[in-house]
Amino acid sequence: MKANLKEFTKGIFKENPVFVIVLGLCPTLGVSSQVSNAIGMSAGVLFVLLFSNIFISALRKVIPASIHIPAYIVIIASLVTIIEMVMHAFVPAVYSALGVYLPLIVVNCIILGRAEAFASRNTVLDSILDALGMSIGFALGITLIALIRELFGSGTITLFPVGTFSGVINIPWFINNPIRVLALAPGALLLMGFLKAFFDWNTLRKKDR
């Protein structure tokens, strides 16, 4: 049981896909301009990673090593297309917010990376826990980046509209004094670099102790 729990928690901090394994940087940098986009992307990754890990783990004895990649790509691409159609039909606001990044989950390295490195070698239960942990780790990473970028780059925090709430929270002072570069692509790279350096420093500090 403890070993199973380890599969879940490792993805959140110790092997965080964004800051430690450095996987899935394309959506992390591309979508993190608004908090709502980061949350929507995290939900998409969670769904695809969970089901791709389940299918790939269940089929691990059926799919030979030499056709891993084409088989995985077909499974992942199908799952992404299914989630895209379902989101378009039933949650159009999230579908619209994610835009072009939703189909790009197909080539998100986290999905293929976990399929090859974990799900193809472990049981379905462990693969589910791995997917949940990695998805939460990804969600924390991308949401942290989005929060900093949007707060300092635009002076707002964008969530989802509910009733009379428009979904956009204007932050006093920051809205009139935005650091524009953070809202743009170079700002995402700069911030990612600083955060990666911080997490590396923190890891080394703990090791030294």
DSSP-assigned letter for residue 170: E
Strand partners of residue 168 = 158
Q: 12 or 97: whose CB is closer to other proteins?
A: 97
- Contact residues toward other proteins (CB under 8 A) are 30-31, 33-34, 37, 59, 62-64, 66-67, 70-71, 74-75, 77-78, 81-82, 85-86, 88-90, 92, 96-101, 180, 183-184
Q: Tell me the closest approach of the beta carbon of residue 23 to other proteins, in angstroms.
A: 21
Picking from 73, 72, 76, the residue whose alpha carbon sits closest to that of residue 60 is: 72
CB of 136 to other proteins, least distance (A): 22
Q: Give the Cα separation of 7 and 130 in Å (integer).
A: 5
Residue closer to other proteins by CB (options 31, 105) is: 31
Closest separation between CB of residue 113 and other proteins, Å? 20
Q: Which is nearer to other proteins, 66 or 206 (CB)?
A: 66
Give the residue from 50, 46, 85, 52 showing the smallest Cα distance to 71: 52
18: tokens are 């964004």
Inter-residue contact 184 to 172 (CB < 8 Å): no
Q: What is the closest distance, in whole angstroms, from the C-beta atom of residue 156 to other proteins in the complex?
A: 11
Of 20 and 105, which CB lies nearer to other proteins in the complex structure?
105
Q: Element (H or E) spanning 196, and its range? A: helix 185-208
